[in-house]
Amino acid sequence: DAKTTQPPSMDCAEGRAANLPCNHSTISGNEYVYWYRQIHSQGPQYIIHGLKNNETNEMASLIITEDRKSSTLILPHATLRDTAVYYCIVRENFNKFYFGSGTKLNVKP
Amino acid sequence: KAGVTQTPRYLIKTRGQQVTLSCSPISGHRSVSWYQQTPGQGLQFLFEYFSETQRNKGNFPGRFSGRQFSNSRSEMNVSTLELGDSALYLCASSPRPITTNEKLFFGSGTQLSVL
């Protein structure tokens, strides 16, 4: 099973880039890496996903290493509203998500 | 377009009772999956329904069951409630069955407290 390891918490100054790392050393070739975030008392919100190439959308960028064993989510200009728990996820199989414990990102003024 | 709607938002029950939670997916989405979230265990997959059929099930006892209607709305039932069933129950929808390249859209959840 491909599972993920993330730091339990990180701090970031408002306006600066937030770089959230994720280790997924047992990922298999056809498993995508997904990032979701969860603000307190709400459901997880999709951010971005990728297979092997770097990806960018209006919310964030995803950098996946060449060996695919780790990735980094980049929030280019963090705001206070980005304070949340960020989950790095790989598919356990074709039908299930495995959510780890995530990283609590604290954006400070 | 309306998002995923879960009702009720909060629920308080006592041990031994049963409970039914409801999830209305985004219009046009035919897959609904359910998750249990607790501080100790994190977010765990319960089951997925697509076109009224259960496609996959996680490692939960038979007290946890679900169904999906022809309009894609889904219900989850928990019978003989235990204290450990206290959790945030989330549902998520997607247009197609969950595959490796499918985004999920989550509702805000139902917070169940068992006393």
**Beta strand A33-38 pairing with A97-99:** unpaired
| Chain A residues close to B108, C-beta within 8 Å | 41-43
pLDDT at A97: 66
pLDDT at A94: 45
pLDDT at B44: 87
What does the pLDDT average to over B15-19? 97
pLDDT at A30: 79
Task: For residues A90 and A81, give the distance between their C-alpha atoms in angstroms, rounded to a whole number.
Answer: 25
The answer to whether the peptide bond before residue B8 is cis (omega within 30 degrees of 0) is yes
Is B92 within 8 Å of A43 when comparing Cβ atoms?
Answer: yes
What does the pLDDT average to over B39-59? 88
What does the pLDDT average to over A82-88? 95
Which of B100, B102, B111, B113 would you mutate first to test chain A, the one with the most A CBs within 10 A? B100
| Chain A residues close to B111, C-beta within 8 Å | 41
Q: Residue with structure tokens 């997925």? A: B48
Tell which wins on pLDDT, B97 or B59.
B59
In SS3 terms, B13-38 reads as: ECCCCCEEEEEECCCCCCEEEEEEEE
Q: Which of A100-109, B10-19, B30-39, B94-103 has the lowest mean pLDDT?
A: B94-103
Taking the alpha carbons at both ends of chain A, their separation in whole angstroms is 39
The residues, ordered by sequence, that sit 6+ positions from B105 with a Cβ below 8 Å of its Cβ are A46, B3, B4, B25, B26, B29, B92, B93, B94
